[in-house]
Amino acid sequence: MPLLICHAPTGGVGTTFLAAHLALGLAARGHDVTAIDFCHADALKLFFGLPPAQEVPAMGGAPGAGVIVDGVELLSGWSVAQNPNFLRVLSRPGESPFADDRIVVADISSADLLIKNSLLPHAALHLCTLMPRPASLAALTKVQPGTPAIELDRTAFVLNQADDTLKLSRHSQIFLRELFGDNLIATIRRDEAVNEALASFKSIAKHAPQSVVLPELTALAIAVEARCGLSATVELPQ
């Protein structure tokens, strides 16, 4: 089962938010999913409605040892990734430290290029978050050194925090759609309910069931499923 890595060249764009919801969305569609937080900030769990004090077990323990939320097994990969042995294993082609019967969604900090570049060769898909903001768009020059952004065939782009009331956001959406075509696999709007849900330790679905981002996040999971050739194992509306 594939490794899906979530990484963007700039921070603060919503990579962790999308990693969590990709994992939740795939689990809701019947897949066995593990989400691994490779970030020092330990923020992935918040998007599962967990509080900062919640311990998240390190990867590498017994199968199923992680915290389970809405069908997703949550693990921490930060300390393991600091171990040179882990990176050494990753550097061997074809050898993966991940269970092969589950989809693994990895959340990686923008600055952590070592972890990103170590995991990338094992990934079926790299999800690159963009925001309709100049610094995020300018970093399209840095998605994968050596390969132009429009030619990256294992990278899919998601525009997050789009806001149709803002001109630059509308134009960015058109620009990215033209630039990447189908490789811009989803657009997620900006909704303060995302932050309010986090602050309430609740899922968005519980806190704000009408949030515009919910159907958009489902569409993201479906798009990733299609892109990676995963078939849904439960039939769900939408």
Partner 1 sequence: MRRDVTALLEKLGRGDFRYRQFADPIADLEPWPLFAALLADERVVGRVELAIEPSIPTGNAAFLAGYAEADPRPARDEPVRGSLHAFLTELSGDPAGDR
Ligand X SMILES: Nc1ncnc2c1ncn2[C@@H]1O[C@H](COP(=O)(O)OP(=O)(O)OP(=O)(O)O)[C@@H](O)[C@H]1O
- Interface residue list for partner 1 (CB under 8 A): 134, 137-138, 140-142, 145, 148-151, 164-165, 167-168, 170-171, 173-175, 177-179
| Chain residue at closest Cβ approach to Mg ion | 16
Using CB under 6 A, which of 176, 188, 221, 223 touches ligand X? 188
CA–CA dist 102, 75 (Å, integer): 13
CB of 153 vs partner 1, minimal distance in Å? 13
Find which of partner 1, Mg ion, ligand X, none residue 88 binds, CB within 5 to 8 Å per kind.
none
71 part of the interface to ligand X, by CB under 6 A: no
109 part of the interface to ligand X, by CB under 6 A: yes
CA–CA dist 165, 68 (Å, integer): 38
161 part of the interface to Mg ion, by CB under 5 A: no
Distances in Å between the alpha carbon of 11 and those of 41, 110, 130, 231?
12, 5, 10, 31
Q: What are phi and psi of 115, to 5 degrees?
A: -65, -45
Helices (H), the chain: 15-28, 78-81, 84-91, 113-119, 134-138, 167-180, 193-199, 204-207, 213-227
Using CB under 6 A, which of 2, 17, 120, 126 touches ligand X? 17
16 part of the interface to ligand X, by CB under 6 A: yes
136 part of the interface to Mg ion, by CB under 5 A: no
Region for residue 166 given its phi and psi (left: phi exceeds 0; alpha: psi -120 to 50; beta: otherwise): beta
Structure tokens belonging to residue 12: 């603060």
User: Binding pattern to Mg ion, positions 1-30, x when CB under 5 A?
Assistant: --------------xx--------------
97 part of the interface to ligand X, by CB under 6 A: no
Contact 34, 99 (CB under 8 A): yes
Binding site for Mg ion (CB under 5 A): 15-16
Binding site for ligand X (CB under 6 A): 8, 11-17, 39, 41, 43, 109-110, 129, 160-161, 188, 190-191, 194-195, 198, 213
